[in-house]
Amino acid sequence: MQSAVLGTSLQKKLLFLFLPLAILPLAVLGAFSYYKSSQVVQDQVCRTILENLSQVNYSLNYFVKDIEQLTMYIYSSRDIQDVLSKEHQRPLAEKYQDEKKIADILETFLGFKNWDIAIYLLGENGDRYFTGELLPGQYDDYNPNWGLFRKMRLAQGNVVWDTHYNMKKTDDFGIVLSSGRQLKKIGTNQPLGYIVLDIMESGLADKYNKARLQPGGQVFLLDASGYIISSTPSKHQVGTKLAEPYVEQVLEGSKGFFKQMKVNGEPSMIIYDTSEVTGFKLVSVVPSAVLTKESTSIRSVTIWAMAIGAAVACWLAYVLAVTITTPLRKLRALMRQVESGNMNVAFPSKYKDEVGQLGHSFNTMLQRIKQLIDEVYNKQLMVQEAEIKAIQAQFNPHFLYNALDSINWMARIHKLDNISRTVIALGELLRFSIRKGQSYVSVRDDMQQIRNFLFIQKMRYGDKFEAEIDISPEVERLYTLKLLLQPVVENAITHGLEMKKGKGRLVISGERTGDHVRFTIQDDGVGMPADVVTHIAGGRFMSSNEQKTGIGLGNLKKRLELYFGREGRLDITSEPGQGTKVVIEIPVMTTAGEERHV
């Protein structure tokens, strides 16, 4: 698909480019605006529900305190204390009077408020008093070591709470919460029995029904262990432990809200608040779609804005593409005429924009091509003439080499060894210099040519100087640029040692330093003034002697830059009367095939 797009016309490419650039920001901005607005609405609704849950918990706290206060009133009632202190084996008439008295007291307590609760007085003497129609079997014959009774006994008269856990799945959920105290004789602290208050599920549900603010939501009242004390509107889980992935986070926290991705198959918000009195948690589960339904209008406006923006972007992209491509098409037509050989064309430029400048450059280029055609035609004859001269010049080195070979044999016939060795050295230098196709040679071969050159110079100058070559075997196995050191050695002899009074010394050394090879050519000749060294360091290689052009170091500097770039280095230090030191550094080359042009 990429090749298909790249192969289309420029106009289509511009359309493909501008449309995403215009539509994508609109889509991202619209999606971001809708997301942020939904988040703000959802956050605000959740805070409202959380505040409502806090109010409901506050109401439940008052309900719990009222229950605890009721048990305290019953505990401290002297009539109840007296009745439970009597023997179980007493006259029936007295028992009847006691039952009527206790019933009146309990009815009085219940008459203060409209509570859906049941009260049970369970005496150690066997007396049983209750407000309901029936006395449950677990209260008639209770075990003081189990359940609620064990909690009351261990609390030593303080109020305790107990949640009823069951797996019942009927509409009548009955008792969901119980509270009680152990009754003791005031003054003697003698156990008299127990008071138990059973709270019906409907009595609790009425307290928090108003917490279900949103349709489709569910409210749970949980104890500290996560068991459902009560719920609304669905009650089929009452008495069981809430088995949802968000339960652990709710039990660990105190209050707040968070998003759960899957609750009954859809994303929902979990809002919860904890009672500081009982530790019970009120949890509201509301589908996220219900909370964000108020942002539907924002979504609609966003979609319309994106549609209108996309339409405007398409129109602007088309107009812009046509405006840009029309003059380019004209320019392409002119280029095709030039390709066919018609050079007498020109691009009519009306504007000075980029396309107009391109057309102006096209006209200028066309004029320049015409001039170059004429110049190339005129220079072609000059090139042919230069080639003929170059072919003729190739005969000279070979002629000289052959002539030197003849001189060598003549010197050997007449037993003139010095002349023979000089001619051989000069021939080797000449053959080495005209060798074609090799820019790099081994350091060992290059040093051999230096020795040939020094031999010839020794024949010329006699004992004027002595030379020493110190190249490590490791460096000799490496490769260097052909004739790299020869110009420096020649300068050291002709400019430094030749003009020195007395005998001079020349030292040529080579060593490897990391990934570079360093060559040092040092002489104790006449040296150079500081201004001359400065000129050479600045690239101005000029000789004061008209017979010596000074191009040796200049060519060396250019060759180092051409072949090694910044990796090649040429340093010159000199003092008048003390001599000159030239340091050349090149990269390490292990083969002659490493092309180093830069």
* Torsion from C-alpha of 229, 234, 240, 241, nearest 10 degrees: -90
| Residue with more model confidence, 29 or 517 | 517
Kindly state the average pLDDT of the residues 1-22.
Answer: 60
Residue 507: pLDDT band (50, 70, 90) is very high
Per-residue pLDDT of 116-167, as tens digits, reads: 788 888 888 888 888 877 888 888 888 888 888 898 889 888 888 888 765 4
pLDDT level of residue 242 (50, 70, 90 thresholds): confident
For residue range 413-436, what is the model confidence (pLDDT) as tens digits? 666 666 666 766 666 666 666 555
Average pLDDT over all residues of the chain:
77
pLDDT tens by residue, 338-363? 778 777 777 776 767 667 777 778 78
| Alpha-carbon distances of 517 from 21, 480, 511, 558, 567, rounded to whole Å | 55, 9, 6, 18, 11
Count of H-run helices and E-run strands, the chain: 18, 17
pLDDT, one tens digit per residue, over 256-283 is 888 887 777 778 888 899 988 888 888 8
Regarding the domain with residue range 47-291, which homologous superfamily does it belong to in the CATH classification? PAS domain (3.30.450.20)
Question: Which range (182-196, 459-473, 528-542) has the least confidence?
Answer: 528-542
Question: How confident is the model at residue 125, as a pLDDT?
Answer: 87
| Alpha-carbon gap, residue 185 to 77, rounded angstroms | 11
Per-domain boundaries in the chain: 47-291, 346-394, 437-540+548-587
- Domains 47-291 and 437-540+548-587 belong to one CATH topology: no
One DSSP character per residue, 547-573 reads: T---HHHHHHHHHHHHHHGGG-EEEEE
**Which among 568, 390, 552 is positioned nearest to 486, based on CA atoms?**
552
DSSP result, 225-250 = TSBEEEEES--TTTTSB---TTHHHH
509, 520 contact by CB (below 8 A):
yes
pLDDT at residue 520, rounded to an integer: 95
* pLDDT on residue 265: 72
Q: Give the Cα separation of 493 and 462 in Å (integer).
A: 12
Secondary-structure percent of the chain, ordered helix, strand, coil, rounded to 5: 55, 20, 25
Of 320, 64, 306, whose CA–CA distance to 203 is shortest? Answer: 64
Sheet containing strand 281-287, strands side by side: 228-232, 218-222, 281-287, 266-274, 255-263
* pTM score, whole prediction: 0.46
Taking the C-alpha atoms of residue 325 and residue 220, their distance in angstroms, rounded to an integer, is 68
Which pLDDT score, from 0 to 100, does residue 388 have? 43
Class level of CATH domain 437-540+548-587: alpha beta
What are the tens digits of pLDDT across the range 61-101?
A: 888 888 888 888 888 888 888 888 888 888 888 888 888 88
**pLDDT at residue 474 greater than cutoff 80:** yes
- Residues in CB range of 538: below 8 A, 6 or more apart: none
